[in-house]
């Protein structure tokens, strides 16, 4: 028998999600990097600068009018919050986004600019998420998880379906940022739905290796250190739907260092003229570092919401 999380999610939900969100999102470009023998999917060019808008929109648009009228609540390092704020504005709903105390300022400002209320919580993402979930329950608001929801995963899966349509081949090594697991499992479901061959490698920072430890050791006993990949940091809910789905779809979970992430950010700019954030650069970092040998590869560059000063510092440190 499959675990319950696997039973609660069907790849067919991705087709429904595509119909639901297509009028409100962009089809982002795919380019070829001959040196790396890789295809690069530039989701940093998506509305709100991140793939997170896909899952947030699919969830919010599927809610009943009463659920939207109750008000939306989310926790976010920044990108999911922007997605929920965008969806709230589109549906004329109110949204409150809880963020970690040291969330990237550019992301927090973008959430506010979309009309949502931002509440900063002392500590990291885990503290923001637990505070937000408690408050949503107490106030009877509608909780929008960044990953622990079939509709959110299906929305993220539209990125996989879109990329498959753009690719000239199906048998690929996919490199996907992993934090809560929604993007990886959504892409895995898309490959399954279309019968596409390939291996999926999740990648996260050594500084916050919670999914890596869960995948390899069955626990999340890890230290959460500051990282350029802020959107991937923090532990995930132990009973999250993504836990069994990660086991089902991921070939492995890899770790990259802060220096490797920074080098990948610099490479994306110097070679392709693209601004990507640390969370988006981890798959590219795994390729550049030689951790992944299999080719051809497809790399998901999941977002571009990096603080401008940080981007400039990285370019100064890695002049190319």
Across 109-130, average pLDDT = 94
Instruction: Write the pLDDT tens digit of every residue in 187-207.
Output: 999 999 999 989 999 999 999
What residues contact 224, with CB distance under 8 A and at least 6 apart? 124, 126, 207, 208, 210, 233, 234, 235
Could you tell me the CA-to-CA distances from 99 to 90, 108, 148 in Å, in that order? 21, 8, 17
Give the residue from 107, 93, 69, 161 showing the smallest Cα distance to 304.
107
Give the residue from 162, 155, 147, 152 showing the smallest Cα distance to 39.
162
Cβ neighbours of 19 (radius 10 Å): 10
Across 119-127, average pLDDT = 92
The pLDDT score that the predictor gives to residue 1 is: 27
Across 156-175, average pLDDT = 93
Alpha carbon distance 8, 220 (integer Å): 23
Alpha carbon distance 106, 78 (integer Å): 9
Between 168 and 138, the more confident residue is 138
The pLDDT score that the predictor gives to residue 2 is: 36
Question: Is pLDDT of 274 > 90?
Answer: yes
The pLDDT score that the predictor gives to residue 174 is: 98
The pLDDT score that the predictor gives to residue 4 is: 40
Alpha carbon distance 96, 307 (integer Å): 22
Question: Is pLDDT of 3 > 60?
Answer: no
Q: Is the whole-model pTM more than 0.85?
A: yes
The pLDDT score that the predictor gives to residue 172 is: 93
The pLDDT score that the predictor gives to residue 10 is: 84
Question: Is pLDDT of 5 > 50?
Answer: no
- Locate the domains of the chain by residue range: 4-51+149-317, 53-143
The pLDDT score that the predictor gives to residue 223 is: 87
SS3 11: coil
Q: How confident is the model at residue 319 (pLDDT cuts 50, 70, 90)?
A: confident
Left, alpha or beta for 36 (phi > 0: left; psi -120 to 50: alpha)? alpha
Is the alpha carbon torsion for 127, 133, 139, 143 positive or negative?
positive
Give the residue from 3, 15, 44 showing the smallest Cα distance to 157.
15
The pLDDT score that the predictor gives to residue 97 is: 98
Q: For domain 4-51+149-317, give the fold.
A: Rossmann fold (3.40.50)
Instruction: Write the pLDDT tens digit of every residue in 83-93.
Output: 999 999 999 99
Q: Mean pLDDT lowest for which of 4-18, 33-47, 89-103, 166-180?
A: 4-18
Across 58-66, average pLDDT = 98
Distance of CA 120 to the CA centre of its chain: 21
Q: Name the DSSP letter for residue 51.
A: T
Q: For domain 53-143, give the fold.
A: Rossmann fold (3.40.50)
Do 4-51+149-317 and 53-143 fold alike per CATH? Answer: yes
SS3 66: helix
Question: Is pLDDT of 101 > 50?
Answer: yes
Question: Is pLDDT of 25 > 60?
Answer: yes
Q: Mean pLDDT lowest for which of 62-76, 144-158, 234-248, 279-293?
A: 234-248
The pLDDT score that the predictor gives to residue 124 is: 87
Alpha carbon distance 124, 131 (integer Å): 11
CA Rg, the chain, in Å?
18
Between 288 and 1, the more confident residue is 288
């Amino acid at each position: 028998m499959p675990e319950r999380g696997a039973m609660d999610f069907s790849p067919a939900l991705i087709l429904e999600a595509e119909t639901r969100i297509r009028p409100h999102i962009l089809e982002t470009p795919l380019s070829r990097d001959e040196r790396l023998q890789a295809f690069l999917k530039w989701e940093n060019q998506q509305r709100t600068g991140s793939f997170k808008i896909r899952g947030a929109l699919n969830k919010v648009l599927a809610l009943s009018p009463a659920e939207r009228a109750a008000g939306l609540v989310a926790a976010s390092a920044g990108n999911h919050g922007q997605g929920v704020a965008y969806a709230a504005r589109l549906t004329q709903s109110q949204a409150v986004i809880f963020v970690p105390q040291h969330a990237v300022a550019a992301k927090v400002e973008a959430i506010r600019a979309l009309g949502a209320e931002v509440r900063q919580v002392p500590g990291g993402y885990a503290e923001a998420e637990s505070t937000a979930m408690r408050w949503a329950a107490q106030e009877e608001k509608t909780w929008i998880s960044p990953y622990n929801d079939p509709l959110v995963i299906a929305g993220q899966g539209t990125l996989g379906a879109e990329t498959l349509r753009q690719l000239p081949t199906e048998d690929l090594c996919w490199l996907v940022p992993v934090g809560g697991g929604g993007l990886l499992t959504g892409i895995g479901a898309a490959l399954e739905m279309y019968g596409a061959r390939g291996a999926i490698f999740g990648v996260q920072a050594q500084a916050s290796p919670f999914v890596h430890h869960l995948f390899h050791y069955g626990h999340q006993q890890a230290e959460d250190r500051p990282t350029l990949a802020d959107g991937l940091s923090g532990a995930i809910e132990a009973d999250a739907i993504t836990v069994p789905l990660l086991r089902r779809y991921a070939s492995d979970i890899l770790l990259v260092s802060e220096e490797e992430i920074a080098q990948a950010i610099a490479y994306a700019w110097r070679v392709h003229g693209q601004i990507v954030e640390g969370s988006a650069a981890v798959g590219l970092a795994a390729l550049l570092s030689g951790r992944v040998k299999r080719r051809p590869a497809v790399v998901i560059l999941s977002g571009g919401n990096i603080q401008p000063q940080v981007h400039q510092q990285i370019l100064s440190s890695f002049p190319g």
